[in-house]
Chains A and B, each alone.
Chain A
Amino acid sequence: MKPTNIAILSVASLAFALLQGCASIPKSQAMDNARTTYTQAEGNADVQKYATVDLYDAKLALQKAERAKNLHDQEHLAYLAKRQAEITLLVAKRKNLEASLGSMSAQRDQMRIELRGKEAHSARLDAQAANSRVQQLEAELANAKKTDRGLVLTLGDVVFETGKANLAPGAARTIDKLVAFLNANPSRRVAVEGHTDSRGSDDNNMDLSRRRAEAVANSIISGGIARDRLTIRGFGETTPVANNNTAVGRQLNRRVEIIVLAAGKV
């Protein structure tokens, strides 16, 4: 072969080899991955709704990778394209979540408002229930008298030993009901007033009536009622309700009155 021909051939083959390198390259795994992820993003409804710009960037990146001049470049560009497609999917998902968060938060506000209204309603129901509990207490305590001052419960002298201020166990039931009522009606106050018959000295009777009233008051307080809701007084023999000349009359006069003061009375 002539040198000229060799030279021409070698230049041509060199040029061909270099051009070949630019024109077509083998398919790479990276490129397939990028295309798969892009297709996934493109077909995603959230992407079409929330991330069209990111999807467009992913498309440009994919096209750039497809035009790569060599395998090395293509793998790099395909990697970038795949990342962009992944980002697109995440952005769409996030924006979708943010949209539902917005509507959920509106829904929450609405529910809170409704609930507040409902609470006000149930407060009214509570008040009605409390009212019916007052009537129930009145009904249950047979010896309760309604007066101008309020509901009067009378603990007869049977609940005390003669001449002493210790409360006998029989009073507990009445006290328990009273405590329950006062707990349910925190604005109501109670007057606890002790009385005696006319036997014995005035001073003794005054003192005894006071101590008995205090014993009753203490059992109310130990039920959980604040002391400042109670007014404790001893009247001695000054306020009889019956004739002191008979045994029955005297028994009626020995008493502690618990007055559940009408609302607003102190």
Chain B
Amino acid sequence: MRQQGNWLFLRMFAIPAVTAALLTGCATTHLPPTAQIASAELAVRQAEDGHARDYAPLELRFANDKLQSAKTAVQSGDDDRYPEAGRLADEALADARLADAKSRTAIAEKLETDMQKSLEALRREATR
């Protein structure tokens, strides 16, 4: 009888409590990653303004695709998909920043090449 009581206690309180505690740790109700998507969108636009279409088309494509997937996941209204949407938005942000960094470096390289040429031309002129 006493053992029966223990079992009852476990079944009524302990198991649900432990399970609930563990579950809340993993599955809270999710909010849509609005801010993350906005950041990613801004970064993509900045990369595009910085000529990423010319100098980092693949990275820009990654960013745009992930941003689009994130938006689609949020629009579905299924809050189970929100964490994935947040991750996609963060990755889109990282891809867009990389695209921007790549473009700016490529432009600096081009400027440097042009500058080299103009210096060489001046040197030739000087030794004429």
Please give the residue numbers on chain A whose beta carbons come within 8 Å of chain B beta carbons, in ascending order: 2-4, 7-8, 11, 14-15, 18, 76, 79-80, 83-84, 86-87, 90-91, 93-94, 97-98, 100-101, 104-105, 107-108, 111-112, 114-115, 118
Interface flag for B108 (CB, 8 Å) = yes
CA distance A136 to B49 in the complex (A): 65
CA distance A34 to B18 in the complex (A): 37
Asked whether any CB of chain A lies closer than 8 Å to the CB of B65, the reply is no
Given contacts A86-B98, A101-B111, A115-B122, 18 further A-B contacts (CB under 8 A): A4-B7, A7-B10, A11-B14, A14-B19, A80-B90, A80-B94, A83-B94, A83-B95, A87-B94, A90-B98, A90-B101, A94-B108, A104-B112, A104-B115, A104-B116, A108-B119, A111-B126, A118-B126
A11 touches B15 (CB 8 A): yes
Docked CA distance A84–B18 (Å): 39
Task: Name the CB-closest residue of A to B15.
Answer: A11
Asked if B122 and A111 sit within 8 Å, CB to CB, the answer is: yes
**Interface positions of B (Cβ within 8 A of A):** 3, 6-7, 10-11, 14-15, 18-19, 22, 87, 90-91, 94-95, 97-98, 101-102, 104-105, 108-109, 111-112, 115-116, 118-119, 122-123, 125-126
Provide the residues of chain B in CB contact with A112, threshold 8 Å. Answer: 122
The CA of A28 and the CA of B10, in the complex, are separated in Å by 39
Partner of A108, one of B14, B19, B91, B118: B118
Interface contact A114-B91, CB-CB below 8 Å: no
| A83: B residues at CB distance < 8 A | 91, 94-95, 97-98
User: What residues on A are CB-neighbors of B3 within 8 Å?
Assistant: 2-4
Q: Are B105 and A97 in contact (CB under 8 A)?
A: yes
CA distance A87 to B95 in the complex (A): 9
Chain B binding surface, main DSSP class: helix
Q: Report the separation of the CA atoms of residues A111 and B123 in the bound assembly, to the nearest whole angstrom.
A: 8
Q: What are 22 A-B residue pairs whose CB atoms fall within 8 Å in the complex?
A: A2-B3, A7-B15, A14-B19, A15-B18, A79-B94, A80-B94, A83-B91, A83-B95, A86-B98, A86-B101, A87-B97, A94-B101, A94-B105, A97-B105, A97-B111, A101-B111, A101-B112, A101-B115, A111-B123, A111-B126, A115-B125, A118-B126
Establish whether residues B123 and A105, one from each chain, have CB atoms under 8 Å apart when the complex forms: no
Contacting pair A79 B91 (CB below 8 A): yes
Which residue of chain A lies nearest to B25 when distances are taken between CB atoms in the complex? A18
Report chain A residues within 8 Å CB of B109.
Answer: 97
Q: Which B residue's beta carbon lies closest to that of A98?
A: B108
Q: How far is the CA of A8 from the CA of B118 in the complex (A)?
A: 81
Q: Which residues of B contact A79 (CB under 8 A)?
A: 91, 94
The answer to whether A90 touches B10, judged by C-beta atoms less than 8 angstroms apart, is no
Which residue on A lies nearest to B86, using beta carbons? A76
Contact (Cβ within 8 A) B122 A108: yes
The 8 Å CB contact of A100, one of B91, B94, B112, B122, is B112
In the complex, A76 Cα to B92 Cα: how many Å?
A: 11
- Please, which residues of chain A bring their CB within 8 A of the CB of B125? 115
Closest Cβ of chain B: how far from A5's Cβ, in Å? 10
The minimal Cβ–Cβ distance linking A212 to chain B, given in whole angstroms, is: 45
A84 touches which of B14, B94, B105 (Cβ 8 Å)? B94
**A105 partner residues in chain B, CB cutoff 8 A:** 115
B90:A18 contact, CB within 8 angstroms: no
A4 contacts across to B, CB distance below 8 A:
3, 6-7, 10
